[in-house]
């Protein structure tokens, strides 16, 4: 029974990573559509937050 539980936990982690990567990809696509002026406004209001788009998502982030 314990093995079944651990398998489910592992499967849930894999799904979570996949969903996070998909969401990150969508954010990257939105960012790529913006012109330089819009990006500058975003930097002005939110600082270095866009640099997080370049962070590799893996199981160690959870």
**Cβ contacts of 13 within 8 Å, gap of 6 or more:** 59, 62
| Domain limits for position 55 | 34-62
Q: Higher model confidence: residue 62 or residue 5?
A: 5
Question: Which of residues 37 and 49 earns the better pLDDT score?
Answer: 37
Residue 49 near residue 38, CB atoms below 8 Å: no
Question: pLDDT by residue (tens digit) across 3-26?
Answer: 676 666 666 666 666 767 777 788
Report d(CA 27, CA 39) in Å as an integer: 13
Residue 21, in any domain of the structure: no
**pTM, 2 dp:** 0.54
**Based on the structure, what is the number of domains in the chain?**
1
Collapse the DSSP code of 41 into the 3-class scheme (helix H, G, I; strand E, B; otherwise coil) and give the result: helix
Write down the pLDDT at residue 37.
94
pLDDT, position 27? 83
* Number of separate helices (H) and strands (E) present in the chain: 2, 0
Is 2 part of a structural domain of the chain? no
Q: Tell me the C-alpha distance between 2 and 21, whole Å.
A: 29
Asked, for residue 45, whether it belongs to a domain, the answer is: yes
Structural domain includes residue 42: yes
């Amino acid at each position: 029974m314990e093995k079944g539980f651990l398998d489910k936990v592992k499967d849930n982690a894999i799904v979570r990573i996949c969903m996070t990567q998909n969401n990150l990809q969508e954010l990257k696509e939105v960012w790529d559509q913006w012109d330089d002026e819009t990006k500058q406004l975003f930097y002005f209001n939110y600082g270095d937050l866009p640099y997080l788009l370049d962070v590799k998502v893996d199981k160690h982030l959870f």
